[in-house]
Amino acid sequence: MVNLTKNIQIITNNVSICDLFNKNINVTYVDGGYLDVLYEVRDRIHTGSILISHPLMGSIKPNETPYRSIVLENRTGPLDYQSLSIIESSIENCKKLLKDRTTPDWTDKVLADFRFLDMKLLESALASLE
């Protein structure tokens, strides 16, 4: 299990992430979809947090999976314009993809698979911090 400093924050709508990481890392659960996670991350960036993992990492498009977990450096301070630019671009890309084709109404088994894939992407991002 990754043991990181207190300044790492995970924003997620994947309950499996909360169950797995909440003992070692500050996890914020967003009760909503992929786009809701991006909005929450943008709000955090506006208060000074910095993106650690890319909001669109992995090859799974926002209109294919309902889950996303994003790692931030949780801090207050001046606005990080690079993080802001990345999250704004990610929000626009997500909106475009969702407008073109909405996320399917997946079965519970497929949703479990997407939660697992999101967890593996997050583990990879956290491992790169060590």
How high is the pLDDT of residue 3?
40
How high is the pLDDT of residue 2?
41
Give the dihedral sign, CA 77/13/57/8: positive
Whole-angstrom distance, CA of residue 60 vs CA of residue 39: 19
The model's pTM: 0.90
Mark the ranges of the chain whose per-residue pLDDT is less than 50.
Answer: 1-3
Domain ranges for the chain, please list them.
8-127
How high is the pLDDT of residue 5?
52
